[in-house]
A = this chain, B = another copy of it.
Amino acid sequence: MKAIQHILGEVDELVIVVGSAQFNYSEKDPFTAGERVLMLRAALKEAGVDLGRVIIIPLNNFENNHSWVKYLESYVPPFDVAYTGNQFVAMLLRNAGYRVVQQPLFSRDIYVSTLVRKKMMDGDETWRELVPPSVAKILDELKSVERLRVISAGEADPLKW
């Protein structure tokens, strides 16, 4: 939220790309792209962000890295500057002529998705302090703890069944 709010202080409109959109109910991507959009919007609303300035686009992965920026372009409105913390994505965007800004990170060692998921599965209720209240509420409604536990039991890999 802080990173998004920071960026919104620098730009008019922000496109947030929800990647790996084709995956869900997996260890890396336990939630559907739609559920991720839901949580993002809830948290932004809660933080008082003007949702009208935020465009959230689910994007499937695409294996041809050389063509990835063009692929990205075809799914999002035109953009002037890109924020990312991923140096590889930054290189691809720069090669394509975009201005790239290092995405600001806040307390990156505390807000770690792997850690949040681990706490949830371990029954450690302090995970609730690591996500916005509105997101915690949605995670409860989605019965996320149960979902994560079943997924992490290691049988969710479609290659196995």
Chain A residues in the interface with B (C-beta under 8 A): 19-26, 28, 32-35, 37-38, 41, 45, 50-53, 55-58, 60-71, 73-78, 86-89, 91-92, 146-147, 150-151, 153, 155-156, 158-161
Across the interface, A88 reaches (CB within 8 A) one of B21, B57, B150, namely B150
Cα–Cα, bound, A160→B56 (Å):
18
Across the interface, A57 reaches (CB within 8 A) one of B19, B37, B60, B67, namely B37
Q: Check B88–A34 contact: CB distance below 8 A.
A: no
Can you give 11 contacting A-B residue pairs, CB < 8 Å? A24-B66, A33-B75, A34-B75, A34-B76, A41-B55, A52-B52, A61-B158, A62-B158, A67-B70, A69-B70, A91-B147
Q: Check A56–B55 contact: CB distance below 8 A.
A: yes
Taking the closest CB of chain B, its distance from the CB of A117, in whole angstroms, is: 16
Across the interface, A34 reaches (CB within 8 A) one of B32, B35, B74, B153, namely B74
